Structure 1
Amino acid sequence: MDSKSGWFDAMGFYRALDGQRQARELNWKQVAAQSGVTASTLTRMAQGKRPDVDGLAALVAWSGLNADDYIRSVDARPEAEPLAKISTYLRSDRNLSQEAATAIDEMVKAAYRQMRARK
């Protein structure tokens, strides 16, 4: 391991993905088709390589696994800031378009900066 403070456990994720595949009684070609990733992405993962971010997102969505469970770090990981959490929640709200989520996010951040300055 090099000097990075955090990294993605690609092999751990691949093993968990394999568990999902076996539980669903699928072969890897079927996983690729259902998840929307290429078979070569899955082959590279089997060889210990990391998927690209879109491939990871597709596999997380298909499998129901939590990518955060495969983040490793040397030190304890800090808690996310409230504004980051709000942005995440807004962007995951299926009742909002991306434009609406962005507009609300910008309003909340502006109000936060203004109120924080009043301390």
Structure 2
Amino acid sequence: MAKTTINAALLYSALDAARQQRQLSWRSLAADIGVSPSLLSRLGNGLKPDTDGFATLVRWLALPAEQFFASDATSGRADQEPDLMAQLAPLLRARKDLNESDVRYLEQVISATVERARAKD
């Protein structure tokens, strides 16, 4: 059975997308989330967060923790693209003109479109 780990690059990418959407510095983002700036810096350097830090980050992103899991076979691969929904979800959730139902609907539409595109490959 493959070991499951946290994909720090993917988590950092989702946080960066949310940070850019909100036009925050990394230090301001850390304060908004309630974590130390050094936690975000370590993520940026490819290090994994501690359990409490990980839980705080994914809860703030309002994304499922599983989205940031990787198995031994995929973690650390330089050619692995960040998950599209991990990048888009924080942007959708940050929109003030979308309610939770709208966000869920758009996530479903985008996910279905990505799956269909992958099936054609």
State the TM-score, normalizing by the size of structure 2.
Answer: 0.54
User: Any idea what SS the aligned residue of 2:70 has?
Assistant: strand
CA distance in 1: counterparts of 2:72 and 2:47, whole angstroms: 21
CA distance in 2: counterparts of 1:33 and 1:16, whole angstroms: 17
Q: Which runs of 4+ in 1 moved over 4 A?
A: none
User: How far apart are residue 17 of structure 1 and its match?
Assistant: 1.0
User: Any idea what SS the aligned residue of 1:26 has?
Assistant: coil
Identity %: 40
Aligned to 1:38: 36
User: How far apart are residue 8 of structure 1 and its match?
Assistant: 1.3
Q: Is the 8 A contact 2:5 2:72 kept in 1?
A: no
Does residue 70 (structure 1) correspond to residue 93 (structure 2)? The answer is no
Higher relative contact order (CA 8 A, sep 6+): 2
Does residue 23 (structure 1) correspond to residue 12 (structure 2)? The answer is no
Aligned to 1:89: none
Query: Which segments of 5 or more consecutive residues in structure 2 lack a partner in the other structure?
Result: 74-121
Query: Which segments of 5 or more consecutive residues in structure 1 lack a partner in the other structure?
Result: 76-119
CA distance in 1: counterparts of 2:39 and 2:7, whole angstroms: 16
Q: Is the 8 A contact 1:11 1:48 kept in 2?
A: yes
Q: Could you report, residue by residue, the CA deviation over 1:72-116 in whole angstroms, capped at 9, with x for unpaired residues?
A: 2258xxxxxxxxxxxxxxxxxxxxxxxxxxxxxxxxxxxxxxxxx
Structure 1 or 2, whichever has the larger Rg, is 1
Larger mean Cα displacement after TM superposition, 24-33 or 66-75: 66-75
Aligned to 1:57: 55
Aligned to 1:6: 4
User: How far apart are residue 5 of structure 1 and its match?
Assistant: 2.3
Q: Could you report, residue by residue, the CA deviation over 1:52-84 in whole angstroms, capped at 9, with x for unpaired residues?
A: 111111111222222211112258xxxxxxxxx
Over the aligned positions, Cα root-mean-square deviation in angstroms equals: 2.0
How many residues align structurally? 73
Q: Could you report, residue by residue, the CA deviation over 1:20-72 in whole angstroms, capped at 9, with x for unpaired residues?
A: 11111111111111111101111111100011111111111222222211112
State the TM-score, normalizing by the size of structure 1.
Answer: 0.55
